[in-house]
């Protein structure tokens, strides 16, 4: 598998985004890895607005079959969504269903002028027509469904990626 150095991938994402974002661009991270990334990106890109966070638990299309996540997080959007340039941030893009749920929830807060997607890794296996505008690494072949990539942050905030057999 390719180099999965989370810190290097984060830096690559920052460099992709830098020429495309302005100080008024707003980021919203999807819990949990996307929130960590959004916090990093806001600081590195010098954005004015604190990042928002979204927990898509209640917006997933498989909510009925999966049930509620055992520890749902709070959704917080600390900016006016109406007309804003918003970038949804997630750690790993897989089927696209989490991104779709995040977009649905974001629109409950207003109608953004533009919505883009930034991810650390695109693992393949899309089920919906969703693609990131910013992506640090696209895996050359989709990961098997029984494996997942998980972003972790230690107490000091250092990011690492783990490949987990489900």
Distance CA 43, CA 23 (A): 11
Distance of alpha carbon 17 from alpha carbon 11, whole angstroms: 10
Of residues 83, 95, 159, the one with CA closest to residue 129: 95
Percent of the chain with pLDDT over 90: 79
3 vs 126, residue with greater confidence: 126
- pLDDT at site 70: 59
On average, the pLDDT of the chain sits at 91
- What pLDDT sits at residue 29? 98
Q: Name the range with the highest mean pLDDT among 41-45, 61-65, 145-149.
A: 41-45
Which pLDDT does position 87 carry in this prediction? 98
What are the structure tokens assigned to 38, written together? 């959004």
Tens of pLDDT, residue by residue over 62-115, are 655 555 555 678 899 999 999 999 999 999 999 999 999 999 999 999 999 999
pLDDT beyond 90 at 13? yes
Domains and CATH numbers, the chain: 6-64+75-165 (3.40.50.2020)
Give the C-alpha separation, 66 to 133, whole Å: 29
Split at pLDDT 50, 70, 90, the class of 3 is low
C-alpha 124/C-alpha 128 separation (Å) is 11
Model-level pTM? 0.92
Residue 83 to residue 103: CA distance in whole angstroms: 14
Q: What is the mean pLDDT of residues 28-40?
A: 95
> What pLDDT score was predicted for residue 115?
98
Residue 41: CA atoms inside 13 Å, Cβ hemisphere, count?
40
Q: Which two tokens stand for residue 157?
A: 């905030």
């Amino acid at each position: 598998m390719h180099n999965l150095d989370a810190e290097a991938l984060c830096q690559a994402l920052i460099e992709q985004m830098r020429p495309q974002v302005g100080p008024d661009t707003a980021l919203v991270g999807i819990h949990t890895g996307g929130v960590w990334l959004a916090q990093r990106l806001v600081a590195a890109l010098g954005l004015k607005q604190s990042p928002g966070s979204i927990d898509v638990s209640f917006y997933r299309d498989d909510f009925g079959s999966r049930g509620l996540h055992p520890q749902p997080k709070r959704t917080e959007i600390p900016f006016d969504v109406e007309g804003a340039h918003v970038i949804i941030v997630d750690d790993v893009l897989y089927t696209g269903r989490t991104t779709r749920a995040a977009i649905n929830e974001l629109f409950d807060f207003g109608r953004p002028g533009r919505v883009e997607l930034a991810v650390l890794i695109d693992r393949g296996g899309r089920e919906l027509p969703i693609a990131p505008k910013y992506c640090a690494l696209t895996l050359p072949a989709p990961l098997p469904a029984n494996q997942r990539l998980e972003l972790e942050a230690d107490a000091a905030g250092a990011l690492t990626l783990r490949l987990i057999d489900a």
